[in-house]
Structure 1
Amino acid sequence: MLQALIIFVAQLLYVPVLTLRTITMVKGMKEKAAVLGILEGFIYVIALGIVFSDLTNYLNMVSYAMGFGVGLYIGQIIEQKLAIGYVSIEVNIMNKNEQLTYRLREVGFSVSTAEVEGMNEERRYRLDCTARRDREQEFIKIVSSYEPSAFIVSYEPRNFKGGYITKAMKKRKEKFLKSKENAPI
């Protein structure tokens, strides 16, 4: 019974670490991905070693599978809470809404607007924004409060060049490097 509990707990640790390692790899964070990979491998070997030491112990196998499933759930919650990276959001609305645009900019979102042509050559308005992922729901909530029937699409961009976000990221990097230079040794 103790082995089954150890396997279950190991899986509860393993799968969220696997999730975070995958995210850091996709986001290009090589060093963090490598460290998490080492931890992931260590946990994996321990849990599987216990399972393979006695293949007649079905409780260990069930614990492994249950821990994996619950670990996936926990990993997903952690990923949503961390919300690493950026999201690009496109909003299509029927009419120009300057109050909405002003409100979004007022709370710190970079918003570009354009008049676009919809079906049957109807004029519509599009708002484009790139923001940190942890602010995506805030953006959608604001848009929905002003434009309940807005069509909203979001996706994760792979690269940045120029623009508001890039300037802000560069300033943060410069500030970080300057603080490291001034830090006591």
Structure 2
Amino acid sequence: MFLQAIFIFLLQLLYVPVLTIRTILLVKNQTKAAAGIGLLEAAIYIVALGIVFQDLSNIYNISAYIIGFGAGLLLGGELEKKLAFGYVTYNVNLMDKNSGLVKKLREAGFGVTVFQGEGMNSIRYRLEVVAKRSREEEFLKLVNEIEPKAFLSSYEIRSFKGGYLTKAMKKRVKRLEKERT
């Protein structure tokens, strides 16, 4: 009786993170990979629900399904943070140009474009910075060390083509990896 409930719980712990990854891949327009993962997702789903539906009076199996789903959501969220698929763009708004910050970000391999704009009472500067999501913490640390009062906003990039990112960023990251080892 309890073995089935434990099995259902474990299936849910596997099912929901797989569901999370499939959803992320769909959002990132990677439909073939999402379809492949969807096969595994469907198989797990059918097995777990099949066991639950065999005896709807078994509160242990139903509870295991529900609790496993919640625990799977937590696990899936953590997994998504660790995998950090894709790219993010940060808008860094500054009172001053801060060429030192721009230089450090570029040296670290981030794509940086500087814009000048008109604020309410003065000229303002905005950096548009593109980074791999896996390097987001590194980026935030650099900005906070050099320009702690900067206003930051971000959004995820679904896709991109051309520009600095596709050529120079790959070369620069490889060079930095060699220097670190």
The CA deviation string for residues 33-79 of structure 1, in whole angstroms up to 9 with x for no partner, is 11110000000000000101001111111100110000000001110
**Which residue matches 1:134?**
134
**Which residue matches 1:154?**
154
TM-score, normalised relative to structure 2? 0.89
SS at the partner of 2:152? strand
- Aligned-partner Cα distance in 1 for 2:61–2:96: 60
The CA deviation string for residues 128-166 of structure 1, in whole angstroms up to 9 with x for no partner, is 111111111211111111111110011012331321113
Q: Equivalences for 1:1-185 in 2 at 5 Å? A: 1-118=2-119, 120-167=120-167
TM-score, normalised relative to structure 1? 0.87
4+ residue segments displaced more than 2 Å: 166-171
RMSD: 1.6
Q: Runs of 5+ in structure 1 lacking a partner?
A: 172-185
**1:169 deviation in Å?**
8.3
**Which residue matches 1:183?**
none
Aligned AA (1:156) = E
Aligned AA (1:136) = E
Aligned AA (2:23) = T
- Name the count of aligned residue pairs: 170
- Aligned-partner Cα distance in 1 for 2:34–2:170: 23
SS at the partner of 2:43? helix
Among all aligned residue pairs of Structure 1 and Structure 2, give the percentage whose two residues are the same amino acid.
Answer: 56
- Aligned-partner Cα distance in 1 for 2:7–2:70: 15
Q: Runs of 5+ in structure 2 lacking a partner?
A: 172-181
